[in-house]
Amino acid sequence: MHVEKTDLPGVLHLVPKRFGDSRGFFSEVYNKKTAVEIGIPMEFVQDNHSLSREVGVVRGLHFQAPPHAQDKLVRVGAGRVLDVAVDIRKGSPTYGKWVGVELSAERGNQLFIPAGFLHGFATLEPDSELLYKCSDVYAPDCDGAVRFDDPDIGIDWGMDISAAILSDKDAKAPYLKDFDSPFVYEG
């Protein structure tokens, strides 16, 4: 597995090896021993699968607060997305900064997003499917979001954001300046 650090400490871009022939390919997308060796020591307890039918769907920016904060290991099973992480740990030198990685089924790459970061994505192809592992179960009382188009964050989604297809929840999410993060930077 090839591991690339991003501009946000702890957020990792992973590219698993693929072994292909005329029939297709095989790829080991997760191995606990390898994950621990590359700095992903947590146990994943829930797998999620999301389908977005149209180009321009934006989901996020989401987080789950303690005591059910989630680390996520994200990949695309079909299509292509811009996957984004934003640091929301109070006191972090990268607070409010973001990274975006294009994930695709064709490439098979993944993004690891630790707890303390917002997560969101925009679909770049129709019928894009996101598959992700979470280190804690979904807890509605810990669920939260920040605006995907917050000018203080300034994410370049690579699209006309006025045409983004959003859920009601995401359209009503607060801006970062109006948000009291439940996460604290620990150095």
- A 10 A CB-CB count for 34 gives 14
Residue of 2, 13, 132, 175 with catalytic role: 132
Q: Where does residue 106 rank: exposed (0-12), middle (13-18), buried (19+ CB within 10 A)?
A: exposed
Active site residue 119: no
Active site residue 30: no
The region, left, alpha or beta by phi > 0 then psi within -120 to 50, assigned to residue 60 is left
Residue of 2, 13, 62, 138 with catalytic role: 62
Cβ contacts of 41 within 8 Å, gap of 6 or more? 35
Put the strands of the sheet holding 117-123 in their side by side order. 98-104, 80-87, 117-123, 58-64, 143-145
Residue 164 to residue 48: CA distance in whole angstroms: 22
User: Hey, which residues are catalytic here?
Assistant: 62, 132
